[in-house]
A and B are shown apart, each in its own frame.
Chain A
Amino acid sequence: MARAVSRQRSLLTGILAWTLGLLIFFPILWIVILSFKSEGDAIATPFAMLAAPWTTEAFATVQERSDYLKHFWNSVVVSLGSTLIGLLIAIPAAWAMAFVPGRRTKDLLMWMLSTKMMPAAGVLVPMYLIFRDLGLLDTLVGLTGVLTLINLPIIVWMLYTYFKEIPGEILEAARMDGADLRREILYILAPMAVPGIASTLLLNVILAWNEAFWSLRLTASDAAPLTAFIASYSSPEGLFYAKLSAASVMAIAPILILGWFSQKQLVRGLTFGAVK
């Protein structure tokens, strides 16, 4: 009896999970299908569209019209760059907050997080003007800098949570053993926090890769990453569904593949410390 109930329940949760999964995945699936249709078929009714012949025409046009590799490279530079610089700043910061907290550490953490609650549009004009005056518009340096700053609070928060899990006595032992601060972080803290640092890195690469608000507004062509490359297919001449979808597929494919291979690490990192 109990067995029948539990089987029913697992079947039910299974169906629910799959439905949810499909619901989330559906737009991506639809984009992939659209990208393999001709421009004319793409705007037909869904059934007609599905029945239409498959073609790679849209990909060919996209590759012809814009330099995919340049945007891809820009995305790589910006997402990896901002994450690595962010980690370099955040590791010592999180160390200090986790192991030598002051009276205001908690407030500081909350304040850092609160910057994420501010709508980005609120600072768009000043940011734009600063970028213009410093000559940073449409440069990789500028965009990397801005993405570093945007994601820094998240990086610090995540690392702080992981570092809190590491017993302070181990770091004290390292200090007794003659390690200065740099070597304490390098040889003891960082290796022990590798799972946490890795998942922080992955999550931030994904966030930076997908970032569109600032990428679209602060870049034009030279430093435009893949998000700007997608947006360029929604133009005043009209929407070209097939080409837009092809561009989207090309933009998200690398990060999807990265996510697929690192999902175990990612999930482990995000739930780290949840169960002791």
Chain B
Amino acid sequence: MGKITLRNVAKRFGEVAVIPDIDLDIDEGEFVVFVGPSGCGKSTLLRLIAGLEDVSGGTITIDGVNATELPPAKRGLAMVFQSYALYPHMSVRKNIAFPLKMAGLPPEEITRKVDAAAKVLNLTNYIDRRPGQLSGGQRQRVAIGRAIVREPKAFLFDEPLSNLDAALRVNMRLEISELHQTLKTTMIYVTHDQVEAMTMADKIVVLNAGRIEQVGSPLELYRSPRNLFVAGFIGSPKMNLLGGAAAAAEGAATIGIRPEHLAVSATGGLWSGTVGISEHLGSDTFLHVQTDHGTLNVRTGGEVGLHHGDSLWLTPERDKLHRFDAQGMRI
């Protein structure tokens, strides 16, 4: 349960093609993350799968059934919205019970399922409160509760953590991953935060301007980005991209090297440079080094003894060097 297939899916708003043509396979039980910059069409794609928007072309199949023309309610999917979209006039209990009530379940069964979901999500003490009386994290849990009670074929998350503060976001991220491990249900998760994508996903779909740039596991994307866009988008801090002579020496139009794949030496190396800003995170230090090829970001240990203005040499690890042609595609 929970296999979703997209074939030639397109979405146009008037003259504007937000999504020109997308093919995608989502397997049963997979945690798929749609990631990309604002306006890349990731939320639209999710809403097309949900049925909240009509496709302009192509087909969406859910568990072998053509769902392209089905209304949202008939697709058997549950969605968690960025704004939580809780029903403000209902208690937590009634919020979670709402989809079950719509499905026409008997009251005893509704009560049993709601109580079970509330217990899993630590909401038992708040069950009679209204959403207005809850904190952001609690509201998000209610929204998730409302999604899980239905036992949907798949969960759709639309940037569910972006309204939470940083600490809570990390917690909720773990809770959602935990939930996926327990339920083993297909989850599609939309975010612009590549850290969320890397940490949660089985499979990442990188989107740019309505097109899929690459699909793969987090490590596949990290190790072998298919093009410059993916190379620059996945990884934090960003991959260093160099053109000109440095790239030509490697037989490429552009080369990329991640901050963690540059070796630092005081005595010799490939590129010489001067330390500019250094960011001390405790566990790591990020040095911004001015070289002849531009400013490079370098990751070093936490206790590094380098300061502003110090000279050093940088050498990329050869097997970690990424080469791209003039079209920006991986060589």
Contact = CB atoms under 8 A, between A and B. Distances in A.
Interface of A: 167, 169-170, 172-180, 183, 187-188, 191-192, 194
B71 interface: yes
B53 to A, nearest CB: 10
Given A169-B83, A175-B73, A183 B102 contact: yes
Interface stretch (B4-12, B84-92, B199-207, B246-254): B84-92
Given A180-B73, A183-B102, A187-B98, A175 B87 contact: no
Contacts of A170: 85-88
A176 B50 contact: yes
A188 B101 CA distance: 13
B76 to A, nearest CB: 9
14 contacts: A169-B81, A170-B85, A170-B88, A172-B79, A173-B87, A174-B87, A175-B52, A175-B71, A176-B52, A177-B98, A177-B146, A178-B103, A179-B73, A180-B73
Contact of B73 (A178, A187, A188): A178
Contacts, number: 61
A178 B85 CA distance: 15
Contacts of A183: 102
B114 interface: no
How many B residues touch the partner, as a band? 20 to 34
Contacts of B146: 173, 177
Given A175-B51, A177-B78, 10 more contacts: A172-B52, A172-B72, A172-B79, A173-B87, A175-B73, A178-B73, A178-B103, A183-B102, A191-B89, A192-B89
Contact of A178 (B86, B89, B102): B102
B148 interface: no
Contact of A177 (B52, B82, B83, B99): B99
A174 B81 CA distance: 11
Nearest to A173: B85
Nearest to A172: B52
Contacts of A176: 50, 52, 72-73, 77-79, 99
A266 to B, nearest CB: 21
User: Taking each of A167, A174, A183, which has the highest tally of chain B beta carbons within 10 Å of its own beta carbon?
Assistant: A174
A114 to B, nearest CB: 28
B227 to A, nearest CB: 34
B102 A172 contact: no
Nearest to A192: B89
A174 B98 contact: yes
B153 to A, nearest CB: 12
Contact of B81 (A172, A180, A192): A172
Contacts of B50: 176
A186 to B, nearest CB: 11
Contacts of A192: 87-89
User: Taking each of B52, B146, B150, which has the highest tally of chain A beta carbons within 10 Å of its own beta carbon?
Assistant: B52
Contacts of B87: 170, 173-174, 188, 192
A192 B86 CA distance: 12
Contacts of B82: 169
Contacts of B98: 174, 177, 179, 187
B99 A178 contact: yes
B305 to A, nearest CB: 52
